[in-house]
Chain A
Amino acid sequence: LAKTTQPISMDSYEGQEVNITCSHNNIATNDYITWYQQFPSQGPRFIIQGYKTKVTNEVASLFIPADRKSSTLSLPRVSLSDTAVYYCLVGDKTENKLTFGTGTQLKVEL
């Protein structure tokens, strides 16, 4: 079972770069790592997905080391509107289902 571990919460200030690390020691060979963002009372929103090395899109970067046992979501220059819960998700091929962990509550202040 590809279980993930993330910090429960993080605090930051506007304009700073935020890095959220997720541990997934039992990741399977073919599993991708996907990050989602969730605001209160809304459904999670896909942010970024990667398999190895580095992936970048218009909102974030995802860094994955060679052993793939962890990954780091990087949010450049956060703003108040980035305050949300961030989930790291790794596919569970053994049971063909997607299990979310507890996520990281990011709080951005002025």
Chain B
Amino acid sequence: DSGVTQTPKHLITATGQRVTLRCSPRSGDLSVYWYQQSLDQGLQFLIQYYNGEERAKGNILERFSAQQFPDLHSELNLSSLELGDSALYFCASSVDLGVNSPLHFGNGTRLTVT
């Protein structure tokens, strides 16, 4: 158990809809990362937050947004969903901002857009 909790585990929705994915980081971790993994694809970095502030952006679409709250949990909002957004979305946390801090991943949210 990594200590990172992601909810929900599965989400099925229709095109054009909006969903929110939630992540609770490991106790004591201040940094949260979001990744997208499509079928047979690698892990695509989306965005990173540290102690409530956005610190780095990857290949995140404008239809996607995220935030980290004062209690350090994070939410990833996906809107105007398209079929191609179907993927596993992982949240990871680390103790600090440094890129050398090991990441601890949750078990992901599987999003299916129909």
A contact set with B: CB distance below 8 Å: 30-32, 34, 36, 41-46, 49, 87, 91-93, 95-103
Contacts and interface: CB of A to CB of B under 8 A. Distances in A.
A96 B21 CA distance: 23
A96 B99 CA distance: 6
A41 B89 CA distance: 10
Interface of B: 2, 4, 33, 35, 42-43, 45, 48, 55-58, 88, 90, 92, 97-100, 102-108, 110
> Main SS of chain A's interface residues?
loop
B45 A100 contact: yes
A101 to B, nearest CB: 7
Q: Which 7 A-B pairs have the closest CB atoms?
A: A43-B105, A91-B99, A97-B56, A32-B100, A100-B43, A46-B102, A96-B56
Nearest to A47: B102
A87 B90 CA distance: 15
Nearest to A31: B100
B103 A98 contact: yes
Nearest to A42: B107
Contacts of B35: 100
Nearest to A102: B42
Nearest to B50: A96
Nearest to B105: A43
Contacts of B99: 31, 91-93, 96-98
